[in-house]
Structure formats: structure tokens, C-alpha cells
Structure 1
Amino acid sequence: MTTPVRPAAGGERDEAVLARLQLLVTRKLDGLLQGDYAGLLPGPGSEAGESREYRPGDDVRRMDWPVTARTTMPHVRRTVADRELETWLAVDLSASLDFGTGRWLKRDVVVAAAAALTHLTVRGGNRIGAVIGTGAEPPARTGRWRAAPPPPTGPGVLTRVPARSGRREAQALLRAVAHTPVRPGRSDLGALVDLLNRPPRRRGLAVVISDFLAPPAQWGRPLRKLRVRHDVLAIEVVDPRELELPDVGVLPVVDPETGELHEVQTADAGLRRRYADAAAAQRGAIAAELRAAGAGHLRLRTDRDWLLDMVRFVAAQRHARTRGTTR
């Protein structure tokens, strides 16, 4: 089991937490990259490999017609992943990530996932970069205000970290993610994803880390556009209280993005049921949009061992792409 970390802290403690996180990731993830793959997922690549029999769900664009004609059985051509991989992270640090009722805040899991992906990329000599989004800059306070100003509603602050190779550069990227302050409001997830489409880059791996609470209509189209050129992995960070409410009587809750305060009577079984149904419908819509975009989908929870879930996901993806008989 992993131990709690708080990457959002500042100063020397921040550096100590990042060092501890790197050690934890290194110890548990070393060995996952054994084989022909240069990144987290065994991407299709561009170099032709062996053929195997067609299975439902295979990309028909990879049909191997000569082998199909010789054997009279449909075959698809496997490809070998490129040795040099460029990975880009789109890290959403909206105010809603500053929440957690499990062992970590959602923000902690976001930074931890970024650390794991960085380790998996740079240990093979590959390059990794990131775009980071957070809420809009808070307006300047003036003496005329008697109460807190309304939260900003702009597109948020978007930061780009150039793709580089090397452990020192990877540490700088992680510091940029961990030290980014969470500002009020929500970043524009669609604009954040679109930063990975501009300028056009060589085929690689794009990873979007977010709670995906923004409407799917905002980020679905940029994600589908990104999938045309790159392998895409979406890491959804979830807290258990976002899925169901406990029976604890009157529960005051604050929206971290707007500052609005509500009191919820959780003793009402009907309310808890409606909340769970609405949450399930919301997560179902997110999963459906990710499937429509053709993105891999990994869900990490604040009350679970996030690193173990990542290891299982990587193993399952590799098994799914390599199973079957080769010819």
C-alpha cells in the first residue's frame, strides 16, 4: 500500500515529498517497461510487425490483405512501437481538485499520477512535456469590497512545459505541476486539451489527468481531434463522496470553484439515492465520451492504492494488445 503524500505543500517539504514520491514510484514500477515498448502503453507505432488473426474490435485499417488472401482467414498486421516516444501530459488543476475525503486529496493523486507517468517515460530516454491548467487569476482586492469578490469566470491560466528528456528535466516538470497554485474557478479543459493539438507533433502518447467534471461537450471534441494523431490516455480522479453521500445528518458543503455554501440533509434516504443516481449518470456520460473519443480510461480514487491501480491498468492494456496467436 502507498503512504499519504501532500505534493501541494510548499518549500523544503515540497522537495522532500517529491523525492519520496519518486522513490516510491521507482520501486514499484521498475520492470514494467521490459519488452518492446517505449512508453506506458504499447502504442501502435509505425514499423510493420507480424500478422495475427482478426478479432472483433481490431482496426480494419490494419488488415493484412496478402495474408488474408493466402489463408482465407482475416488477418491484421501488428506494428512495433516506436523506440523514441514523446509523451505530453495535460494536467487539470481546477479548484475542484483541492478536495478529498479518502487518504489523499484529488490534487495529490493528480501529482502522483504525473510522477508515475514521468518515471515510465524518461527511464527509456524519451521526452516528456506538460500543459497545466488552473482557475483564472483572482481579481485584485480593493477597499471598496465589503465581502469576498465573486470567483473569476475566465478560461483560467494555462502553462506549457516544453518536452525534454533526462531526469533533471523530469524533476523540473514535476515541480512545475506540484507548485502550481490552485486558483478559484475552473480551468477550460477543452482549451487545455487543445494545447496538445497545437502545434502538430510527431505521433506519441497524450495523457489527460483531470476529474473531468467540466461538461463533456467542452472537452469531447478536442479529445477526439487529439486521438486522430496520438494514443490518448484519460486518467479520471474521483473521490468516494462524489459518488455517494454518507448518512451523517446535516452536512455543510462548499463548492471549491464558486465558494457557494450549501447544507445537505444526508439523513434523507431519498436524497442520497437521487445523489447516487445523478453521480452514476454523470460518470457514465464521462466514460461514454471517452469511449467515443477512442481514449484509454483509467479511474483513480482517493481512497484506493492509486499506484496498484496504475500497475493493473498497464498490465491489462498490454495483455489486451498482445494476446492472440501471431503468424
Structure 2
Amino acid sequence: MDANELLKKVRKIEIKTKGLSQNIFAGEYHSAFKGRGMMFSEVREYQYGDDIRDIDWNVTARHNHPYVKVFEEERELTVMLLIDVSGSRNFGAMGEDKREMIAEIAATLAFSAIQNNDKIGVIFFSDKIEKFIPPKKGRRHILFIIRELLDFTPEQRGTDLAEVLRYMTDALKKRCTTFIISDFIDSHDYYKALSIANNKHDVTAIQVYDKRDAQLPDVGFMRVIDLETGRDRWVNTSSGKVRQAFNRWWYERQQQMIDRFNRCRVDYTSIATDEDFVKSLMGLFQKRGVR
């Protein structure tokens, strides 16, 4: 798209998502993704009931009297968005296409993060790491991220979630809040990489899918193209067996994905492109906030 069209789209998304983050998500985000780490604040004299594991033995030895370390919650977070830019994100048969909804969800999370004074970074991935944007604060940084979300052209079209999870685990030393935004159409096994990543970081999965990913329409012979491999074939969608087999494949793949999230204790939500993503994000935030 040309520069003027891109600027208009960036501005449109900013107006919509900044308003959502300020008016709807600010409190929910704050309570759902509060700082998980504890940082040292001060030492004080030991009081009855203090945990002996918090005793500062060096200070205690110097003063010949027990002192304990006092910790406070680390409020400022580093938030990472892992954005799927594979070929399948360009599919859109119902409602918005995945690409546009992913951009809006990511922008909403980004504006919510800076409302909380958090840093925000992005990793674009396909079946390789396409681009890493280091975490920073500020509106200009968010607008740069939105422009990249709308206009970024990946080198590859496939998907490898394990690759981006391994990369994040190795590249980011400090614990961070991580959102994976993808349709999760991936033939690789990413369970081990997800488990390791969630042990080090706080990982949340947001699936964006089109309902046509799950169900073929009854329209006779239809040419179907795999947007990630480029392969195509003709499918007889009038056949009930064909439609049932396709739906069964989708259901089994979804169950496998959910099983991985549950076993790794990763919070998740699934959002169809013809649905209001606000409801799903609010539900996700509220579920986390009550824990």
C-alpha cells in the first residue's frame, strides 16, 4: 500500500485501539498482567512473624541484631508480542481478514501496556524469525509497531511456533509478559518449546481464526490453495463426507492445540474474524485477574 493509505490505516487503528485500551482495558490489563517479579526495596529490623528466609545475614552480622530484606512487587513489565506473519494470516472469508484483526488486537495490547508504563516489543515470525523490535516505551514506538503490522512483508510463508518460542527464551533474559497472536496452523510440535518458554516467561496465547478454516461451504467443486505452501487442489465441497472429514481435521487440531496450552498452563482465547475481539480479551483478562 502507498504511504498515504498506510498512514490513514495507522491513524484509524490508533483511534480505535487507543480508545479501547483507555476506556475498557486499562483496569483489567493492570490487574491481569501485574508484575510477577519481586525486587529488593530495603532492609528493616526483624519483627515477630517475619519469614526467617528473608533474613539478611550480612546486615544481621554487622549489627548483631536480625534484619530482614523487604521486597516489593515489580510493577513495570516488559511485554512481548509474538506475531504470526505466515501466509495463512492473509486469509479472510468471513468478517475481517486475520491480518487486520491481528493488527488491531496487537495495537490494543500495546496501548494497554503503555497505559501501565510497560515496555513493548515485537517478534514477527513465519517458519523463521522475520524481525525483532526491541522493547521500548512511548506512542511513537507503538505507531512504528502498527505500521510494521500493516505493511510488513515476510520472506517466508510457513509457520514454526517452536522456533519463535526458542528464540524468545534465549534472547530475553528478564522475565516478560508474552502474547502469541497466531492462527496456530502449524504442523510442527511446539509443546516442549512452549513449556520451557512459559516456565521462564508469562505466556498467553491468542488464536485468530476464520470460520472457513473450520468448515467448508457447500458450493460444489472448489479450488483450494494452501497460502503457506502455495499448493492447490480441487475439492468437491458438495460431498458430505469431504466436509465432515475437513471439519473433523479442524476439531482434532483444535483439541491438540488446547491440550498443549492446558498441559503447559498457558492461558488462551480463540477469536473468530467475524466476532468482536473485545469480549474475548475482556474474558481473558478477567479470568487472569481473579487468580
Into which bin does the TM-score normalised by the smaller protein fall?
0.7 to 0.9
In the superposition, the TM-score normalised over structure 2's length comes to 0.82
Q: Secondary structure at 1:130's aligned position in 2?
A: strand
Query: Are residue 34 (structure 1) and residue 27 (structure 2) matched?
Result: yes
1:136-194: CA deviation from partner (whole Å, max 9, x where unpaired): xxxxxxxxxxxxxxxxxxx5452110110111112112222222114453143221122
- Which amino acid counterpart does residue 236 of structure 1 have in structure 2? Q
Q: 1:15 aligns to what?
A: 7
Q: Secondary structure at 1:299's aligned position in 2?
A: strand
Query: Are residue 197 (structure 1) and residue 190 (structure 2) matched?
Result: no
Q: CA RMSD in A?
A: 2.6
In the TM superposition, residue 41 of structure 1 has moved relative to its aligned partner by: 2.8
Give aligned pairs, total: 263
Return the alpha-carbon distance in structure 2 between the equivalents of residues 170 and 122 of structure 1.
Answer: 9
- Which amino acid counterpart does residue 168 of structure 2 have in structure 1? L
2:181 corresponds, among 168, 186, 209, to 209
Would you say the 8 A contact 2:130–2:154 is kept in 1? no
Give the alignment of 1:209-288 within 5 angstroms.
Answer: 209-217=181-189, 219-288=190-259
Return the alpha-carbon distance in structure 1 between the equivalents of residues 270 and 252 of structure 2.
Answer: 16
Return the alpha-carbon distance in structure 2 between the equivalents of residues 261 and 118 of structure 1.
Answer: 37
Would you say the 8 A contact 1:38–1:82 is kept in 2? no
1:15-64: CA deviation from partner (whole Å, max 9, x where unpaired): 211211121112223243238x647634544379xxxxxxxxxxxxxxxx
Query: Are residue 305 (structure 1) and residue 267 (structure 2) matched?
Result: no
Q: Percent identity?
A: 22
Would you say the 8 A contact 1:216–1:285 is kept in 2? no
In the TM superposition, residue 81 of structure 1 has moved relative to its aligned partner by: 5.5
Query: Are residue 125 (structure 1) and residue 96 (structure 2) matched?
Result: no
Return the alpha-carbon distance in structure 1 between the equivalents of residues 119 and 137 of structure 2.
Answer: 4
Would you say the 8 A contact 1:40–1:117 is kept in 2? no
Q: 1:181 aligns to what?
A: 153
Would you say the 8 A contact 2:213–2:250 is kept in 1? yes
Q: 1:292 aligns to what?
A: 263
Any stretches of 5+ residues in structure 2 without a counterpart?
41-50, 52-70
In the superposition, the TM-score normalised over structure 1's length comes to 0.73
Return the alpha-carbon distance in structure 2 between the equivalents of residues 173 and 194 of structure 1.
Answer: 22
Return the alpha-carbon distance in structure 2 between the equivalents of residues 131 and 28 of structure 1.
Answer: 23
Would you say the 8 A contact 1:209–1:237 is kept in 2? yes
In the TM superposition, residue 303 of structure 1 has moved relative to its aligned partner by: 1.4
Runs of 4+ in 1 over 6 A off after TM superposition: none
Q: 2:132 aligns to what?
A: 160
Query: Are residue 84 (structure 1) and residue 76 (structure 2) matched?
Result: yes
In the TM superposition, residue 234 of structure 1 has moved relative to its aligned partner by: 0.7
- Which amino acid counterpart does residue 197 of structure 1 have in structure 2? T
Change (3 A) 1:81 1:287: farther
Q: 2:45 aligns to what?
A: none
- Which amino acid counterpart does residue 19 of structure 1 have in structure 2? R
- Which amino acid counterpart does residue 285 of structure 1 have in structure 2? Q
Q: 2:85 aligns to what?
A: 93
1:52-111: CA deviation from partner (whole Å, max 9, x where unpaired): xxxxxxxxxxxxxx9xxxxxxxxxxxx986310100111110011110111111111211
Return the alpha-carbon distance in structure 2 between the equivalents of residues 260 and 295 of structure 1.
Answer: 33
